[in-house]
Structures are given as structure tokens and as C-alpha cells.
Amino acid sequence: MISNEIKKYVAFYETERIIIDKKLKASLNKRKPFSLYNPAAYILESSGKRLRPLLVLLSAKAVGGNYKKFYNAALSVEMLHNFTLVHDDIMDNADLRRGNLTLHKKYNLNTAILTGDILAAVAYEFLLKDSKVNAQKALESFTKGLVEVCEGQSLDTEFETRTSVSMQEYIVMIEKKTAALARTCCELGAYLANGKNEDIKALSNYGKYLGIAFQIQDDLLDITADKVEFGKRIGGDLLEGKKTYLFIKALEKAKGKDKADFEKVIANKGIKENEIPKYRALYEKLGVIDDARSAIKSYTKKALTSINKLSNKNEIEIFHWLADSLIKRNK
């Protein structure tokens, strides 16, 4: 039985997601040249969870602000996020994103690179529209987030050429590549709504830990999700030889022939598609799927411990609901 409180949160999320979608669709309307802005619109209009804009709005609301004043800031983080996805897809040579052709596959490589660049630039343009209070802090947070995302992507790429990566190194990488932007979203909403320092810190840590949990969940879904729901090919990380949470944990725990099989993935820089079931079975045998689920719960708990320190206790529960929704997602 779904409580009335949860129904209220779901309704809030769905309403705001529709508003964000409409505003994103209109954000680049009539801009020229069409050869640049049409591909950008294609990316922004593709269906997504809109988690990051929602974090901006919820964080502004949590510190007592009128969240409806910060839609431009919310759009800015979604634009920045999509900039990272466009370039990430190029680097991974990915075919699909959210069930649709990636930008470089639908258009071409040069168009995709330039589209990513314009999304990052326009993101700043939209953020500035809402930066009436604490503008310097907001811009510093936004820029720091962008810098860390790029650093995280670079580490991720570096890991592909290394024979070993420690779990500690992996966590640092995803803290930059994924969690930094979630942290930035929470900080932005709180800064722009003139929140107190202790509330900004609580929201910032919530975003960071939720982002880490989110990425480990993404690693897990890559091997356990349904392809139709996930919108990407299953086992893509293994095919590309990526050192994910599950792979690193498996390499730590494996012995004998099992360890040799995982070392072959590194040596061959990936596996063949028909080997995916074999490696999924190895993950299950070694217990790393359960390890990943435990890690997701652990980082989610840290996020909730952080948000419980929020001054306005009436705003805490929706952050609990959001975290619970994310760890139960299937795409």
C-alpha cells in the first residue's frame, strides 16, 4: 500500500519532470545555426530521469527558498550533464543512449564534439540567469563540478590501459565522474536560495554519497538489467574491458582459473558478446553482485545520515524517498 506521503512525492517529481522537459525543449528554440542547435535539442529532448535538475529544486526548497525561481539553474545542470554524456559516448564509441542513437552515430563525430561544447557554454548562460544571490559561490561550485567530471572521465580512460586498479582508486574516480555533479546540484540550489552553511554541507554530502551509490548501481545494472528498460546493451562494460566496481571486486576475490579468466579480460581489453553469460555467472559465483548491492546500501545510508542533519526537518523525507527510489531502479 503506497502512503499518501509517497504519492505526494511521486506527483511532485512527475510534475517537475514534465516542466523541466518542456523548458529544455524551449531552451534552444529558434537558435541558429540549426546545424548546431538541432543536434543539441535532440540530446536534451531524449527521455531521462531529470534527477539532477530535481536535486537543484529540492535543495532550494529544503533551505526555505521558492524553488520555482531556480528553473534556469535546474536546466543548466541538465545541460552540463548532457555535455558529459555526449563526450563520454564518443570516447566509448557507444551506439545507444537512453534507447536512442548516440549523437555521433546519428550525425557525425565533429557535430557531436561541437554540440557537447555548446551545451557546456549554454549551461553557464542559464545558470547566470538565476545567480542573484551567492553568485560567486554558485559559479565556483558549478565550475568545480565540471572540472571534477573531466578529471573523473580522464581517470576512467586511464584505468582502461592499466593492468590493475584498486577499489580506493575506483571510488575516487566515480566520486569525480558521477558524484561531483550530484553534489554540485545540491550545493547550487542551496547557495542560490541563500541557505545556511550547515544546510549546504548536509545537502552537499547527500549529493556526493548518493552519486557514488548511483554509479555503483549503474555498474550493477549493466550486467543485471533488462536491455529494453535499461536502454543500453547489457554487458557493455565487460565488452569494453571497463574496470567497474564488480570487475575490481571480482579480481580481488577470484583465485585460480577464475582469476586467470578476469586477467584475460584485461589482456584482451574486453570480452566477446557470447562470453557475457559466462562472466555474469562468475560474478554470481564470487558474490560480487551481492557485494555491489551492499555497497549501494552503504553509500545510500551515508547520504541519508547527511540529509538528516538538515535544519528543516519537514523537507528531509522527500530526500529519503528519492534515495530509496534510486537504489530500486531498473534503468
Quick check: is 279 in a domain?
yes
Quick check: is 69 in a domain?
yes
Instruction: Domain count for the chain, please give it.
Output: 1
Quick check: is 7 in a domain?
no
Angle (deg, nearest 10), helices 51-62 and 197-224: 160
Per-residue pLDDT at 222? 93
Residue range 262-289: mean pLDDT, rounded: 96
Residue range 260-283: mean pLDDT, rounded: 96
pLDDT tens by residue, 32-51: 999 999 999 999 987 788 99
DSSP-derived secondary structure for 74-143: HHHHHHHHHHHHHHHHHHHT-SEETTEE-HHHHS-HHHHHHHHHHHHHHHHHHHHHH-SSSHHHHHHHHH
Residue with cell 558529459: 84
Q: In CATH, what number is assigned to the domain containing residue 85?
A: 1.10.600.10
Peptide bond into 53 cis (omega under 30): no
pLDDT tens by residue, 88-125: 999 988 888 877 899 999 999 999 999 999 999 999 99
What CA–CA distance (Å, rounded) separates 150 from 146?
6
What residues pair up with 97 in beta bridges, in sequence order? 100
Quick check: is 2 in a domain?
no
| Sequence-ordered alpha helix ranges (H) in 161-242 | 167-174, 180-192, 197-224, 227-230, 236-239
Nearest Cα neighbor of 141 from 200, 92, 75 is 200
pLDDT tens by residue, 210-235: 999 999 999 999 999 765 455 567 79
Position 306 pLDDT exceeds 80: yes
What CA–CA distance (Å, rounded) separates 164 from 41?
39
- Taking the whole predicted model, whether its pTM rises above 0.75 is answered as yes
Quick check: is 6 in a domain?
no
Which one-letter DSSP state was computed for residue 49? -
CA angle 297, 229, 152 (to 5 degrees): 55
Dmax over CA atoms of the chain, in Å, equals 61
Quick check: is 146 in a domain?
yes
What CA–CA distance (Å, rounded) separates 216 from 104?
26
Quick check: is 4 in a domain?
no
Query: What domain range is 19 assigned to?
Result: 12-327
The per-residue pLDDT of the chain, averaged, comes to: 94
Quick check: is 318 in a domain?
yes
